[in-house]
Amino acid sequence: MSVVHDAVGGLKLEPTEKREIWRFAQRELPYLWSQRTSYFVLGSYRDPYIRRLRAVQNELAKQLGAYPFIMGDLLELPADRLNVFDIMFALLATYSDYIVGVFEKESGGEAPELGEIDDTPYFEKSYVYPRDYTWFTDSNLDSEHHFVQVAIEIAFTDDLTREEKEAKISSLADRAQEHEIEVSDQDLWDVIEERKAESSEKATYSWVHINKFRKFELHDRCFPWATV
């Protein structure tokens, strides 16, 4: 109840509201207190983003004893007067073993969720997976993902002709080979074609989002991705 108290800003709860909150806690929290490893998966519930969210949930579920869940699948808390999302989020985030945020855009409910997990008490157990995020930490700049991400940036640049894009991506593949990273010209184009079949544009983020991703990156808990 101290978690709930903080979530509602010290507001005095009515008896019926307390009962509904206890009902939610008794229904959902035992799964988080069990011997299984719980993963609170955050992201957009809208199509097509929910498909990638489900892919992450399914991948985590392959581990023995794992319980990955999405808040939208759980029991709803019927307390219209209260800030229900904050209460549910605080309870689930507090008692989960890990928090996994999947990001593809700067709008939607996942934006305030990012603001919640980048600070105490949730930061230490949170990991973020931002699509098309470009690493800033020097040690990451010669990774395979770095070259894939630069190729996607080139492919989605409207100011370049097809020939210019091909030349730049070919040069990028050569540079990867110089750094002893096994990424060929064809590998880069395969990723680009897969990506274009899925979406006509790349993910973009505000400076605020990028700043928060960078914090996770500095703590080795940011994992950018381009394709599923």
Per-residue pLDDT reduced to its tens digit, 98-110: 999 999 987 777 8
pLDDT at residue 61, rounded to an integer: 95
Is 166 in contact with 154 (CB distance < 8 Å)?
no
pLDDT tens for 153-174 read 888 887 778 888 888 888 888 8
Q: 2-133+203-218 adopts what CATH topology? A: Rossmann fold (3.40.50)
Partner residues linked to 131 by β-bridges: 225
Listed by start position, the domains of the chain span 2-133+203-218, 138-198
Distance CA 178, CA 174 (A): 6
Report the run of H or E that residue 100 belongs to, with start and end. strand 98-103
At 136, is the pLDDT very low, low, confident or very high (cuts 50, 70, 90)? low
Instruction: Give 199's contacts (C-beta < 8 A, 6+ positions apart).
Output: none
